Structure 1
Amino acid sequence: MSQEPDLADRVDHYGELTRSLLDSGALTTDWSEAFDAVPRAAFLPDLAWPHDMDTGTDRAVDRRTDPEDWERAVYANVPITTQWDDGKHSGSEPGRVPTSSASMPSVVTRMLADLAVFPDARVLEIGTGTGWNAGLLSARLGDRCVVTVEVDETVAVSARAALARLGLRPKVVCGDGGEGHPDEAPYDRVIVTAGVRQLPAAWLEQTRPGGLIVAPWGTHYSDEDALVRLTVADDGSASGPFLRPLEFMKLRAQRLDWRRFGNHVGEYPGDAAETETSVSLSDLGEDRRFLGPKFVLGLCVPDCAHVVNSGEDSSTVWFFDMTEGSRSWASVVFRTGARPATVHQSGPRKLWDEVSGALEWWRERGSPGLGSFGLTVLPDGTHRPWLAEPDHPVPSFAG
């Protein structure tokens, strides 16, 4: 039988989290009543895996064997994995790929503030997950105003049950979030709790003119996302700024399958052209997350994925063309304590030339931060990133 933590302990842990979020500004006072009424712990399973932000590791906490440890973990300001490997994982050890989670409370509350809801606003949520976010929305706006879509049936059933235990009954739909939910459209607000690489047209179509779409968006160049807040126009387009960096599990239909690059490189380096570069790993932002140019490089070099293979004496950065039918690739070998680095490029696209050109463009403009950029999405699905203003598009260095 599951042991329940002492009520006083629960209130203390939750109160500490609430005070911390209020003091930091992550939780705004207009959301505090809903936050008090809808505790995070009510949506988390007995066995879960909090993520240590400093070490990048996950550990198991189990309410059945150590309720106090579990209580501390679920009210800490950390993300918690609740499902691994699309539900195919078993046991208490972490799985291979996290596929459902409870986001950091500070991320949840800041995104809700960015949503700028108002009384009776109709909200579509993409990615129900544990159901906590939908619960907060329902407590603030009322059940009839909230529709949430979850692709995984097991996850959707669990979220619906957790919501019902608190007396909350938003509409929980099991389906492809990329299709939205047209039956209840139009919506005043759309909030997305999964990283996306292409905003589906359905989300724009189902949002009323003047409505907002808040979503973690990025490119396949890296896992880094940025929260974008788009305002939908009368013509069906949507445009708005990037607010801040963050990272979410990717929408299942938009995950990057690295197996697609299995035939890009045959005999290495083969007949690839060889050059040198004075650019360093640090210049590319590979030694830090969210603080370097990686997000911007993804904007300027479309349809390009990259990965770093680190060794004892050297690191190799690989670049792959994602264009259908293309096998263009590039590699840059950085040797510890030595310069220049060795570049190999193969195929019609000179991917390293594109990346280095984009890096130079960014530097020439004073290395603007993520908050200087924004995104416009046209009704036909075209995505146009921009710098400072929508009429200043970011250049594409694709050859």
Structure 2
Amino acid sequence: MTAVADARVRLTDRLEASGALAPDWRQAFLDVGRHLFLPDVFWADTSEGYERCDRAESPERWLQLAYSDTAIVTQWDDGGDGGQREPTSSVSMPTMVASMLRDLDVHEGHKVWEGGTGPGWNAALLARRQGAHSVVTVELDPAIAARAAANFRALDAVPTAVVGDAEHGYLPGAPYDRGILTCAVREVPPAVIGQIRPQGVLVLPFAPLFGGGAVARLTVSGATATGPFTGSSAFMRMRQQRYQAPSVDDYLPGDWPGDASQEYTTLSPFKVVDDWLASFVVGLAVPDVYYRRSDGDDMTSLWLFDTGVTSWATVDFVDGASRYEVRQSGPRRMWSEVEEIHRWWEKEGRPGFGRFGLTVDGGEHRAWLDEPANLLPPVRGRG
């Protein structure tokens, strides 16, 4: 057995043993090598940060990382040359790829739409499993799409690859039995829901503006889609849904603290923003709130804002303190809303990702706990 074949088998065995890889996906993972979709130079997302790896310099390490259970970045900053600030294309972590394909629950004869081709590994797995004629994949970035097309040419089963906007789905190929997004959204595109057959399934990473993220498995019925979250996720956000925050001066035109009230809280802001699940729950409850942090030598300030540019708040964290100063301004009490939903979550026993779900109906998003009728409670300032 060659080194590549051995690495492929070992990764597939690990994924299957962990439960992430359903047995009926095993052959596709053995047949479609992950290394075929990686450039000669990439950046692996390791516990110590992004590790740059050059195949020419370190071929053994390159192959090891290619078949490791880690996400691999293949593009930074939308392909710009201004440095490496934000990863904007990748080959996803194999455990995440396998588990989302398991959630998709494809069967023979199903036609599948994918939004976000990236380098193409996920689409290639689908094409190997379903047949090339049954898979349509859409990529917004022409350069990424061109690289994916080159990667596909090495395969027997080549999906229909389209350069276009995944927010619009791909109407010429609709309707689809299954849909999958490989980029995170904070609003599920109505056009995509509308192109899935009744009782079809749409799997996607959902990432509220505030923070956190989880995979949603939605069952479609007309313009409505509803279903549970199946587990934590961390994906790059769909390019069209990146939020461009206004200037702080738009919220606070004068000197700080302006007309803000002064209060105190015993809830550390980092128990909210540094906890992936907690920040996700807050984001579900207050989808129009975001935060920024300002780090100083002796104090860290958490700034909260609403997208309506009506209200703001700050919470000052000092290490070792038992309470933290809060300033709030505007008709909404930003920190009070966050604190309220966090308190509700703790009272409920800190339920995990799998107990939450999402219903999307005509563009309206409603988060729920355990069942669709049990909506998250409203918080002050939102009704």
Whether TM exceeds 0.5 here: the answer is: yes
> 1:195 is matched with which residue?
184
Q: Deviations over 1:208-246 (max 9, x none)?
A: 000000000121011x2110000012x421110011111
Report the CA distance between 1:340 and its aligned residue. Answer: 1.5
Identity, % of aligned pairs? 42
Which consecutive residues of structure 2, in runs of 5 or more, have no partner in the other structure?
none
Structure 2 distance, partners of 1:64, 1:289, is: 37
Alignment of 1:360 onto 2:347: no
Checking the alignment, whether the CA contact within 8 Å between 1:301 and 1:398 is kept in structure 2 is: no
Aligned equivalent of 1:243: 230
Tell me which residue corresponds to 2:160.
171
Which one of the candidate residues 94, 106, 131 is aligned to 2:95? Answer: 106
Partner residue, 1:275: 263
SS in 1 for 2:250: coil
Does 1:59 find its partner at 2:51? yes
**Secondary structure of 1:263's partner?**
helix
C-alpha RMSD of the superposition = 1.6
The match for 1:180 among 169, 178, 192 is 169
The CA deviation at 1:366 is: 2.1
Residue 282 of structure 1: how far off its partner (Å): 4.8
Correspondence 1:296 to 2:281? yes
Q: Give the drift of 1:339.
A: 2.5
Q: Which moved more, 1:235-244 or 1:364-373?
A: 364-373
Aligned: 1:230 with 2:218: yes
Determine the C-alpha separation between the residues in 1 that align with 2:120 and 2:302: 39
Indicate the SS of the match to 2:192.
helix
- Would you say the 8 A contact 1:376–1:384 is kept in 2? yes
Quote the offset at 1:363 in angstroms.
Answer: 2.2
- Provide the rounded CA distance (Å) in 2 between the counterparts of 1:236 and 1:259: 32
- The correspondence for 1:219, drawn from 184, 201, 208, is 208
Q: Which residue of 2 aligns with 1:129?
A: 118
Q: Separation in 2 of the partners of 1:124 and 1:398?
A: 40
CA contact (8 A) 1:209 1:236 kept: no
Would the aligned equivalents of 1:129 and 1:155 in 2 still touch at CA under 8 Å? yes
TM value normalised by structure 1: 0.92
- Displacement of 1:309: 2.8
Is contact 2:215-2:229 (8 Å) kept? yes
Contact residue 122 and residue 188 of structure 1 kept, 8 A: yes
Partner secondary structure for residue 251 of structure 2: coil
Secondary structure of the structure 1 residue equivalent to 2:2: helix
Where 1:169 maps in the other structure, the secondary structure is: coil
CA contact (8 A) 2:190 2:223 kept: no
Question: Does structure 1 retain, via aligned residues, the 8 Å contact 2:213–2:276?
Answer: no
Structure 1: any 5+ residue segments left out of the alignment?
1-6
Match of 1:386 in 2: 368
C-alpha contact (below 8 Å) 1:302/1:398 kept by paired residues: no
Question: What is residue 3 of structure 1 aligned with on the other side?
Answer: none
**Where in structure 2 are the equivalents of 1:298-377 lying within 5 Å?**
298-323=283-308, 326-377=309-360
Partners of 2:91 and 2:28 in 1: CA distance: 17
* Cα drift, residue 58 of structure 1: 0.7
TM-score by length of 2: 0.95
Q: State the secondary structure of the residue aligned to 2:313.
A: strand
